[in-house]
Structure 1
Amino acid sequence: EGGMRVPCVVRWPERIPAESVCHELTTMMDWLPTFAHLAGASAPRDRKLDGHDITPLLMGESDAKSPYEAFYYYHTDQLQAVRDHRWKLAVAGGDATAESPYLFDLSEDLAEAKNVAEAHPEVVSRLSAHLERAREDLGDQDRKGEHVRPVGRADWE
């Protein structure tokens, strides 16, 4: 699960509870809106941000949850998978000849070795709907999304 189970250590004495652990999923894109909130500033309003303010998670609020229903896996312009907190649905795309879809129960199978799609058609259906929403929003190979945003970059001179 490249990029998903990456630990993050945050220290802010007297603000973030010492030795607290959060198992909710977030992304690097969450830092901008979070730091803006913590600094008392507003996040940019002239563009859509992909991240969310995760201050409640950082502060150890007991009822804090990830602001995401699903996370998407893209390889270049190809949508390859979607996951929620427990399940991951992988679909063959492009020139792939593998059977599709593959559903993995990440709470039991971190190695993604056992396809349980046939045993859980309701999960396949729910995650497939997330895939379609991602295709509509961000696109997929040979399909332009309605809300594709330019990639941010810094021009170093």
Structure 2
Amino acid sequence: MRWPAKLPAGTLNRSIMSAMDVFPTLAEAAGVEIDSPFELNGRSLWKALRDGKREPRKDWLMFASETPIRGHFNVTAFNDEWKLVQEIDQGLLGADVRTHLFQIEPDPNEHNNVAAAHPDVVEEIGEAIHRWRMLYPVSGTRHELVPPPGWRAPKDWAGYPVAVGDLQDEPAPGMPPPFALPTLDWQHGEAGRLIYDCEPYAFLGGGLCK
């Protein structure tokens, strides 16, 4: 922020701030009352910026990040002291969760996973993540929907699903090149391409079509 009349140049504030905090911070700085029937997710940090003080974060700041691998995503929650990262592989009947806990001040670069030494902290933050995920499911946080590798749109959606011969000739925009499809088929198996007249055979655990 640049405000010569209010903020000294070169001021550094180490309070944790997210994009959700920008609007309430600017509103308070401008003296604008927020007239909304909804509770804002963010908080105002104007007093901390103005007074040059660090504002501790009492709530958990949450983030969810998907990867191109179907059913795999990461969730993290952190405040000034702790950061918990969950790597989640989710299937139809269950989920495998790998947990990483970092203590931010002595380990800002997150080299040491201390989850085993602090099971109570893992449980506390894990419960907070669980409640947050119920309110904001991962499928609702995507900025765009991404089809599985090699997916091709049908020529006529009225008869969907259809045989592979009735699909469009070219993959959907953004799909990998044809030479990469065998590798993706092997990696993702039946969770990858949508092929309806495929005769599969097992190859190192994959789902290639004959």
| TM surpasses 0.5 | yes
Mapped partners of 1:67, 1:85: distance in 2: 6
Q: What does residue 26 of structure 1 align with?
A: 17
Q: Secondary structure of 2:31's match?
A: coil
- Measure how far apart 1:59 and its partner are: 0.4
Q: State whether structure 2 residue 82 is matched by structure 1 residue 82.
A: no
Instruction: Pick the aligned partner of 2:62 from 52, 57, 72.
Output: 72
Deviations 1:24-82 (CA, angstroms, capped at 9, x unpaired): 101122221222222222224044432222111110254x5145521112115955111
Structure with the bigger RCO (C-alpha within 8 Å, sep 6+) is 1
The 1-side partners of 2:2 and 2:19 are apart by 16
- Equivalent positions of 1:53-132 (< 5 A) are 53-60=44-51, 62=53, 65-76=55-66, 78=73, 80-95=75-90, 100-132=98-130
Over the residues paired in the alignment, what is the CA RMSD in angstroms? 3.1
Give the 3 Å change call, closer, same or farther, for CA 68–79 of structure 1 in structure 2: farther
Structure with the bigger percentage of strand:
2
Determine the C-alpha separation between the residues in 1 that align with 2:4 and 2:110.
Answer: 38
Contact 1:104 1:114 in 2 (8 A): yes
Task: In structure 2, list runs of 5 or more residues that go unmatched.
Answer: 67-71, 144-210
**What residue in structure 2 maps to residue 14 of structure 1?**
5
The alpha carbon displacement at 1:109 in A equals 2.6
Would you say the 8 A contact 2:77–2:84 is kept in 1? yes
Larger deviation: 17-26 or 115-124?
17-26
| CA distance in structure 2 between the aligned counterparts of 1:48 and 1:25, rounded to whole angstroms | 20
Cα distance in 2 between the residues matched to 1:30 and 1:78: 25
Q: In structure 2, how many angstroms separate the alpha carbons of the residues matched to 1:91 and 1:24?
A: 24
Structure with the greater alpha carbon radius of gyration: 2
Please identify which structure carries the higher helix content.
2
Which moved further from structure 2: 64-73 or 112-121?
A: 64-73
- TM-score for both structures, normalised by structure 1: 0.67
- Alignment partners' CA distance in 1, 2:23 and 2:58: 16
Which secondary structure state, in structure 2, belongs to the residue aligned with residue 91 of structure 1?
strand
Distance 2:11 2:126 in 1: 34
Letter in 2 for 1:87: W
Counterparts of 1:28 and 1:47 in 2: how far apart (Å)? 17
The one-letter code sitting in structure 2 at the alignment partner of 1:11 is: R
Aligned residues: 134
Maintained 8 Å contact 1:15/1:59 = yes
